[in-house]
A and B are shown apart, each in its own frame.
Chain A
């Protein structure tokens, strides 16, 4: 068999033009998609075969131009310009043709072969847009494929066009935007200087360099300054720019942008058969007039979040009950088969008690993910950021910082931290990264469900959960304000954000998302949580019978002594003085400490502890019931515990990602650990001691 030829293609396009959907269609991957800008912040690779080619497909973060402003845009620009993919597939939202073609005009300045995927072509047709594809293809000198990403239409044709373009080497450089004689003349002068540096023009397309210099793109100017003709080129560029400035009475970057739009509008006039495009934004506008209203905006957002929690708690409650009962029954069954002893305890208390506690909440997490997926796909996410902008500007951040915080609530703090890449200001980014972990992620959710379920009446559960959510936002905002005021002073950067059109989410899309995130939860329970549960079990089991057991002691007393005298029990009593003022004992201290490995571990640790402390293995009480019956807890203590869990240090993986994304700043990572934990302790202290004074400590 002949070996397949290998090529690399890059998917480039504006934010929210459906690149990841096309990527998934091409490669069969399940990359996360959503209806808000900035879902993809990192390049993602996948493979596909077509004819006798093996194609390496690279999905890039969305970008409006090849002049990057934020980290995610740098990722896209660097790949396109430096990695020399064999073909660039430029994906555009056809229903917004002119603006989307702007990036295409810049891609045309590179030497890489280019094809155009006109995505969402059904939406454009619905708007009454009738494109003469062959005419547009001629005008832009590239193959064009209409696609409908969410229906997987046009995928094969796209691959065929990629291969054809690659084999025919249809160079995108055939047609360029005409910038006019004045600009062209300055371009020539710069070109002659740059071409003296052979290495430079081998690495980067000269034409692109020259235009970006005239556009005053700071990252390109840096590249130029460091090349062998740096001084000469920089001096010439300054001269050229001031010449153009004087000639046109405006900045060269504005003139260049204007020429590009002129080129696009010329092409569109020729290639669009019907120019009766009605801007039908009526429904979307009416919705926005309500949800973005200055008075109702925030209350509506609060209502939406409340509805999500209400939905989650109401519908998951019975199913969680079944799951808990199942794991109770399962433990009991295993106990009746396996003879009593260490091995039985290992299985029943360590693994089933620990992991079962976490998996019991799977339905709750799934319901939450389903509701959140609706929120993500509808287009409301960007609106929530808009609404919060006003409030957040009082705390020194702008609305875009709210997106990473929401992403954290939608599943996990890690993608939340990654999503801060869309922020342009480095300081804002660092601040946002530091407050993102305060949000209630999918891993913290079971802790809240467990304690709220155990200590508060069912009719209040949504309200308490919602209160916790509000508290997480308040804490995040106040921290941001403190950080901005005392650590990262600086001005608020510009807030520019596209609001995507509303879409009705498809059931299939929602279920896919729910399944994807739910599977991650199960996978984590089956790996890291099993491992930590075993460690915790061993910690509380050994050394065996080291305590003084006297004749006539009940089984339950013996179990208690065993827990106290074990390694973990002793470690617990060591840290007890630290957590006593916030109403916790050594066991809770151990659970919290173990929770740094992964927040679900807080639940699994209690699962193991209560399973070990249980004398009659035949009894099938759920973990919630066991907690409820434990006289050492009270609703006030539970509240204090939850507040601590809400605020204290992020899990290891989140901290590792924080370290990476903060530019490997150990200082900030340690600061984050310390700061969050001190805050958590103080908040719990106030709540617990305050509650005691008010006499709520019953």
Chain B
């Protein structure tokens, strides 16, 4: 298990959970991110937002948010 912000570009991940922020949890679920969902890091420079592929859509997640998202490497 690791934080999304630590996941390098091009890794395939499974979403586990998000720490804190109640609103963010449902917000991410609305975008397709529920526990067990696969996602792929498209770009993560460790600096600024991270782009991920969720259900075929390219989504930018802010740096702060990415530090709270827990994922598992495939």
Contact = CB atoms under 8 A, between A and B. Distances in A.
Interface of A: 64-65, 67, 69, 95-99, 102, 215-217, 250-251, 253-254, 257-258, 261, 277, 279, 281, 284-285, 288-289, 292-294, 382, 386, 389-390, 393, 398-399, 492, 494-501
Interface string B20-62: 0111111111111011110000110101110101111111111
A603 B34 CA distance: 56
A398 B62 contact: yes
A495 B60 contact: yes
Contacts of A498: 31, 57-60
B30 A67 contact: yes
Given A386-B60, A495-B65, A250 B35 contact: yes
B31 A496 contact: yes
B56 A98 contact: yes
A386 B63 CA distance: 11
B36 to A, nearest CB: 8
A12 to B, nearest CB: 14
A98 B34 CA distance: 13
A96 B30 contact: no
A608 B50 CA distance: 54
A492 B51 contact: no
Contacts of A293: 45
A216 B26 contact: yes
> Lowest 10 CB-CB distances: which A-B pairs, in order?
A495-B62, A257-B29, A390-B48, A294-B45, A65-B30, A64-B30, A99-B55, A499-B58, A258-B34, A253-B26
19 contacts: A99-B31, A254-B34, A258-B29, A261-B32, A281-B42, A288-B42, A288-B58, A382-B60, A389-B49, A389-B60, A399-B49, A495-B65, A496-B27, A496-B61, A496-B62, A497-B59, A497-B60, A498-B57, A498-B60
Interface string B58-74: 11111111000000000
B25 to A, nearest CB: 6
A248 to B, nearest CB: 10
Interface of B: 17, 21-32, 34-37, 42-43, 45, 47-49, 51, 53-65
Contacts of A96: 55-57
B44 to A, nearest CB: 10
A552 B27 CA distance: 80
Contacts of B56: 95-99, 277, 279
A389 B45 CA distance: 14
A216 B22 contact: yes
Contacts of A292: 43, 51
B9 to A, nearest CB: 9
A667 B6 CA distance: 45
Nearest to A387: B48
Among B31, B47, B62, B63, residue most surrounded by chain A Cβ atoms (within 10 Å) = B62
Contact of A69 (B27, B51, B57): B27
Given A64-B31, A499-B60, A254 B55 contact: no
A477 to B, nearest CB: 16
A499 B27 contact: no
A294 B49 CA distance: 10
Contacts of A254: 25-26, 29, 34-35
B14 to A, nearest CB: 13
Contacts of A251: 22, 25
B41 to A, nearest CB: 11
A279 B53 contact: yes
B64 A495 contact: yes
B61 A495 contact: yes
